[in-house]
Structure 1
Amino acid sequence: MRYLLVCAFLGIGMFGGSISGTGAALFAAEDSPAAAAEQATPGSPAAADAVTAPVPQPSSQIEGTPRVLAPGVLVTIPPDVQVDETHNRQDIVELVTLDPTFEWAKDCDFRRTVYCLEFRFKLPRLIEVDMPQASGRLQRKPVLYLVYTVTNTGKGLKPVPEADGTYRVEEAAETVRFVPRFTLKILESGKEYPDRPNPLTVAQIRRREDRAIRFFDSTEMNDRQIAVGETYWGVATWEDIDPSLTRFSIFVFGLSNAYRWQDPQGAYKAGDPIGQGRVFSRKCLQLNFWRPGDEFILKENQIRFGIPGQVDYEWVFR
């Protein structure tokens, strides 16, 4: 009964959690192989992961013989799962605020299974696409895009209850539901650009990258069930990017289901809607890039993975 009350009050079922116990100006796109073969910053963690092993091919996306990529073209970010992501302890503020004598609603232990997918990507590239306008005419626009793969390597952790009320953590290899979201952020201005799926853009990217692979945009990839050992190819696209950008980050959501939540002091008051003031943050991959080039002409071969003096990538909650 307590379990049902807690889930009803928190509304966390959608996150897979459980509770137990108490407690342009001008853009220039280039097709040079050198631009496609950019590698991670030497000596960085990602550089060691830029491997040459063949990428598993999902049969549903392969419509021919894919190109053989040169070593270093795909940069690999290994999956990252941490034991502390499988649980957190929180008061159930809706119940404690209602009646402070509800001791069983204080310092509750929330447990959940967490997973993380492997992510591989090419450096961001540019392509010009004729976009239909409201006037009925076509307008040629530069599009920045990121080709990537996601692989379910079976990397996951699952809390298992013991007879004495404690938990042990075991490895868990399960089919993963992938709901991607990509955000590009210009670090100088703080401006953010969401991924904009467009079939016309994806078709042109396919002709350029590999006609034998059907790349999924974020809409087609959405809610994809990825079995252990399975890989999917995808592409994220952005339009109307400020050409003067120098440092930018791409945030990739959906690779991990890890999340954090907190109830700020005083944010919830008796009588408020359930969850009032509650703040969730989700684990995502932050990829950092640097472009040491002209302010008015953005060329894809000027884009470097990593920013001088900073990490190439990191896992963050936002």
Structure 2
Amino acid sequence: MPLVLNHVVSLRAAWLIALACLLTSANARAQQVDPSQAPRNFAPGVLTTVPPEILPGETASVHPLVELRSNQKLAWQPEYLATSQTLYEKAAHARFTRDIWCLEFSYKPLRLIWVDVPQANGRLEKKLLWYLVYSVRNTGEGLAPAAGEVNEEKAKPTEIGPVTFVPQFVLQGHDQENGRRQYRAYLDKYVPSAMEAIRRREVRGRKLLSPPQMAETPLPPAQDGDDAMWGVAIWEDVDPDLDFFSVYVQGLTNAYRWEDPDGGFQAGDPPGTGRKLVSKTLQLNFFRPGDRFLQHETEVRQGPAPGKAQLYGDGVTEGLVYRWTYR
């Protein structure tokens, strides 16, 4: 009996490996676009384009170096120099600088599709997937910090070379139950069996990159208006009762903020202990006035639901389709 069981397990493993190879091959064929097939042109209003936001103040920031300021042995009074010239005092207002870039982001309406998805048990399960087809474009524009003091007006334009977009899409619900917010969040997934169906439906005549392909393909500065890479974010097993939600996109810019809360770092702790770092993130707002029955993509609307803008976060106003935030 154990021999029979082992044989069955081996056959199942072989079947799963063969299925994975077929899906990988199918996904590869999806990228072999027929050169004779012209890329689909989109009607006005189909694409929503978010222009790059590059702010001078993002190129420099001032922070105390808590790793040095926590060492009281460095606090000393020199005899022939001003106290402000000591390492301890300079660490109170350390200046951090960086070049800033941001990609242009365009996206189509969020849609739904039924797809057979392989499961761990070797079976196929028909699932309703939520997805967002998008494109990213490197304009080649950036900002560099000005020398000397932190001054937003003195940041200077600079040219940006190839940029790698490492996509991270989080679909987060804002629904409330009994007066309390339900934080349901879904990280996008790579679903090979869905790639070709989505490509044919949305961007015929173009390549549609999976998240791994997008992350390994540097995006050079654009030469014309069509130098964009297309990709898709897919979510699986989304709660069908979800009504109010946002899609948060990270990786479009290298802008970030950080702070060291009081008491977060103690002398002797590893560097960076307690530090809070947040990345500049694009927030896309949606609502869906439907229920779990007869789910359909036509129910999905852009912007906060009327009268519910406060659910989408501080600063979100009525009709705000997208905004930049930090999280």
TM over 0.5: yes
* Equivalent residue, structure 2, for 1:180: 167
Instruction: Name the CA distance, whole Å, in 1 between partners of 2:68 and 2:32.
Output: 49
Contact 2:61–2:150 (CA under 8 A) maintained in structure 1: no
Determine the structure 1 residue equivalent to 2:65.
92
Aligned structure 1 segments of 4 or more residues deviating by more than 4 angstroms: 59-63
TM-score by length of 1: 0.77
Partners of 1:183 and 1:194 within 8 A in 2: yes
> Which of 233, 242, 245 is matched with 2:242 structurally?
245
Question: Larger C-alpha radius of gyration, 1 or 2?
Answer: 2
The number of aligned residues is 258
**Structure 2: distance between partners of 1:169 and 1:198:** 42
Distance 1:316 1:223, change over 3 A: farther
Q: Does 1:218 align with 2:211?
A: yes
Are residues 263 and 271 of structure 1, via their aligned partners in 2, closer, same or farther at CA, if it must alter by over 3 Å?
same
Separation in 2, partners of 1:257, 1:181: 13
> For the aligned residues, what is the CA RMSD?
1.9
Question: 1:51 is matched with which residue?
Answer: none
Q: Which residue of 2 aligns with 1:136?
A: 122
Ranked by relative contact order (alpha carbons within 8 Å, sequence separation 6 or more), the top structure is: 1
CA–CA distance in structure 2, aligned partners of residues 128 and 205 of structure 1: 10
Relative to the length of structure 2, the TM-score reads: 0.75
User: Which one of 93, 110, 113 corresponds to residue 107 of structure 1?
Assistant: 93
Residues 166, 186 of structure 1: alpha-carbon distance in 2 compared, 3 angstrom cutoff? closer
Higher helix proportion (structure 1 or 2): 2
Quick one: which of 70, 84, 87 aligns to 2:43? 70
Moved more, 223-232 or 86-95: 223-232
Q: Distance in 2 between matches of 1:211 and 1:66?
A: 6
Give the superposition deviation at 1:199: 1.5
| Aligned 8 A contact 1:62 1:214 in 2 | no
Q: Which has the higher mean CA deviation after the structures are superposed, 220-229 or 179-188? A: 220-229
Hey, what's the Cα distance between the residues in 1 that align with 2:323 and 2:34?
31
- Is the CA contact 2:254–2:279 (under 8 Å) kept in the aligned structure 1? yes
Q: Return the structure number with greater strand share.
A: 1
How far apart, CA to CA, are the structure 2 residues paired with 1:184 and 1:218? Answer: 16
Residues 1-318 of structure 1: matches in 2 within 5 Å? 63=35, 64-99=37-72, 101=75, 102-161=88-147, 168-175=154-161, 176-188=163-175, 189-229=182-222, 230-307=227-304, 308=306, 309-318=318-327
The gaps in structure 2 that reach 5 residues or longer are 1-30, 76-87, 176-181, 307-317
Question: Structure 1: where are the runs of 5+ without partners?
Answer: 1-58
Q: Take 2:47 and 2:34, find their aligned partners in 1: how far apart are those partners? A: 18
My pick for the range that moved more, 169-178 or 114-123, is: 169-178
- Deviations, residues 182-217 of structure 1 (Å, cap 9, x unaligned): 000011122100010122111221122233222112
